[in-house]
Homo-oligomer: A and B are copies of this chain.
Amino acid sequence: MASKLCEMLGIEFPLLAFSHCRDVVAAVSRAGGFGVLGATAHTPESVREELKWIDDHVDGKPYGIDVLVPENLATRGEGSVSAAALVRRIPAAHREFAEHLLAGAGVTIPDDASDRYRNRAQPFDPDTALRTLEAAFEHPIRLIANALGVPPPEMIAMGRKHNVPVAALAGAREHAVRLVEAGVDIIVAQGTEAGGHCGEVSTLVLVPEVVRAVRAIRDVPVLAAGGIMTGEQMAACMAMGAAGAWTGSVWLATPESETSPVFREKMVAARSRDAVRVRSRTGKPARQLRSTWTDAWENSPDSPGALPMPFMSLVSEKSLRAVDRAAENGNDQARDMVTYFVGQGVGLIEDVRSAGQVVQDFKEGYLEAVERMNALLGD
């Protein structure tokens, strides 16, 4: 496909795949798409290891990296804060509610679980994100992306220096305009149906809205995101002027992904309405699979409600990791609690396929959609 975006990224098929899992990133890029490693939970050391592995497995194909540098954190202005220090500031009500839910399902958190916070920065720490990006530039990355809000000036400067485009996600037209004005090179217009952090406007409305607004400022490619699980949906978004698709949830149903077999089975069984937009995992509205865990935090009369970012993740992540483990070991109540970020497109997932096969299916679905359009016009 001949387009500015394909030239910028060195690809032929503008299917971008966000994944926390290096196996997915490498497999997608090898198959002709563009893998983007979600490196939010990484440090400079760990990202070097991941990118080295990708370099060894990607057959020279291009790939990128994504961090999450939020504009608004409850700890803003406090400087460098450790995860361990934040854990001590979690209100008793929240800690106890999580403990109560786990105990009710017979799930225990291993004694050494809090060790992981000992030498760690706070979740979503901007300083760690920037140092991680710097380390990433030791590798041939072709894109850096910020998953939440306007990237800090240092991030845009890094992109310029290395001649690598900077992408950022927007959930509303006015956010996209701010991103373009800040110097972002690629806008990801992400609809409310997306997994993870998302706004309120649907992809079908947001994409043309953002394309129109961005075009009025300068020629910046807009990727469509939110709910896209098939090549037909990708074609739909490109019919509205998107330069390609940014995808996430579809890769969670691949065997290469970091998800557990239990979660993948739940994905296949889920309906689109089972992907709920709630604050109770990270502190900001994020779409994820409805489970007894999300129901309890959202609807139980005893729920203390969500804490702001970054505190909420310190309550939920450790607990949900223990839940995953218990579910894998056959605990049915834990299985009912298992949840993870996923978009409404989960209703379109019918089986677990390899990442390479998913790329192939996207290409075929895309072509079928274009053929369908031409057939309707009798061409």
Contacts and interface: CB of A to CB of B under 8 A. Distances in A.
Contacts of A239: 232, 235-236, 239, 369-370, 372-373
Which secondary structure dominates chain A's binding surface? helix
A41 interface: no
B273 A172 contact: yes
15 contacts: A172-B271, A172-B272, A193-B205, A201-B272, A201-B347, A202-B203, A202-B227, A204-B226, A204-B233, A209-B347, A212-B348, A239-B369, A239-B370, A239-B372, A367-B377
A378 interface: yes
A237 interface: yes
Interface of A: 1-3, 172-174, 191-193, 199-206, 208-209, 212, 226-228, 230, 232-233, 235-241, 271-273, 343-345, 347-348, 367, 369-370, 372-374, 376-378
A15 to B, nearest CB: 13
Given A202-B344, A204-B233, A205-B348, 17 more contacts: A172-B272, A192-B192, A193-B205, A202-B202, A202-B204, A208-B230, A208-B233, A212-B348, A232-B240, A235-B239, A236-B236, A236-B239, A236-B240, A238-B372, A239-B370, A239-B373, A241-B372
A369 B238 CA distance: 8
User: How many copies make up the complex?
Assistant: 2
A367 B348 CA distance: 28
A230 B374 CA distance: 19
A208 B348 contact: yes
A69 to B, nearest CB: 23
A273 B201 contact: yes
B347 A238 contact: no
A202 B200 CA distance: 11
A347 B202 contact: no
Nearest to A377: B370
A273 B200 contact: yes
Among A206, A212, A377, max chain B CB count under 10 A is at A206
A235 B370 CA distance: 10
B205 A3 contact: no
A240 B377 contact: no
A344 B205 contact: yes
A238 B373 contact: yes
Given A1-B377, A232-B240, A272 B347 contact: no
Q: Which 6 pairs, one residue from A and one from B, show the smallest C-beta to C-beta distance?
A: A236-B236, A239-B369, A193-B202, A202-B202, A205-B227, A205-B344
Nearest to A211: B232
A276 to B, nearest CB: 9
A166 to B, nearest CB: 24
Contacts of A233: 204, 208, 240
Contacts of A273: 172, 199-201
Contacts of A240: 232-233, 235-236, 369
A212 B343 CA distance: 18
A119 to B, nearest CB: 41
A226 B204 CA distance: 9
